[in-house]
Amino acid sequence: MKQRAALAGLLVLILAAVGFDWATFPPPLPGYAQVRAAWKPSEAWLYDRHGVLIDSARVNFAARRLAWVPLDQIAPVVPATVVAAEDARFRSHGGVDWLAILGSIRSRAKGERGRGASTLSMQVA
């Protein structure tokens, strides 16, 4: 009887875990073309007939979005700098930096000033 109860409990636990995973599964991310097509800068530019910029004005104050810059026009040092500043172990974890999370919990438990534990993957998502 105890074995049946344990087996039933295990089955309920597995079903609950599968249900939780299904209920919290994130939607698929949009592709590059979709993101690029939906991008709207927060500024408008006025050019003369020769293509010379006359003026610019911010038209969206809800969010600050600059003009789209293709990756091939960004200096190669920029991505490396962002990774170094934001997520030093970026290439050694699978999106969740458990060491940083544990360090943050330990700091909080000691009453020290809080520190972040989010990775670049978490920030982008």
Q: How far is 36 from 68, CA to CA, in rounded Å?
A: 8
User: 89-103: per-residue pLDDT in tens?
Assistant: 888 888 888 888 888
- pLDDT value at residue 73: 93
User: 55-88: per-residue pLDDT in tens?
Assistant: 999 999 998 888 888 889 999 999 889 888 888 8
- Average model confidence (pLDDT) across the chain: 88
- Local structure of residue 105 (DSSP, 8 states): H
Q: How far is 88 from 97, CA to CA, in rounded Å?
A: 10
pTM value is: 0.45
Q: How far is 36 from 87, CA to CA, in rounded Å?
A: 25
| Count of other CB atoms within 10 angstroms of residue 84 | 11
Q: Where are the alpha helices (DSSP H) in 1-125?
A: 2-23, 32-38, 77-86, 98-109, 120-124
Domains in the chain: boundaries: 71-125
Unique residue bearing structure tokens 């530019």:
45
